[in-house]
Structure 1
């Protein structure tokens, strides 16, 4: 694996480090994940376990589990499609 050195404004670096810390990630892995998502061609399938998603969830996100109850036969894709059609008239 190769290394890359980037130059950031001190305030931006501090904000990025704080963001990564709040989300339970290391800054280098966060940046690598963002770059990978940006440069990956849309036709290329996603890896089985993306590095960004293998990090532990933040306590704030963990508290959301079970907060929403949906029927067992709920089809989120259908609900999403209907919401998009309603919003954009597609």
Structure 2
């Protein structure tokens, strides 16, 4: 069941949020509902969002891929 909610938010924030929602193909209500759902989750179970589920498995890494080594290498390139 859905219900209405009245919020008081700075106008500039609302405008940016509406623009962001439009550019991502979602409604402002959906963004706010997803945010509230995320921060109020009690059990710490972090279910993947539908958008993230669509891309899971899209990249096939080599069997010998070492995430720690790659991360270290990327950080060294960035900071050295």
**TM-score, normalised via structure 2 length:** 0.58
1:74 shift after superposition: 6.1
Aligned ranges 1:4-23 → 2 under 5 Å: 4-23=5-24
TM-score, length-normalised on structure 1? Answer: 0.53
Residue in 1 aligned with 2:61? 70
Gaps of 5+ in 1: none
RMSD: 3.3
Identify unmatched segments of 5+ residues in structure 2.
Answer: 76-80
Asked which structure has the greater CA Rg, the reply is 2
Asked which structure has the greater RCO (Cα within 8 Å, sep 6+), the reply is 1
Runs of 4+ displaced beyond 4 Å: none
Aligned length: 66
More helix by share: 2
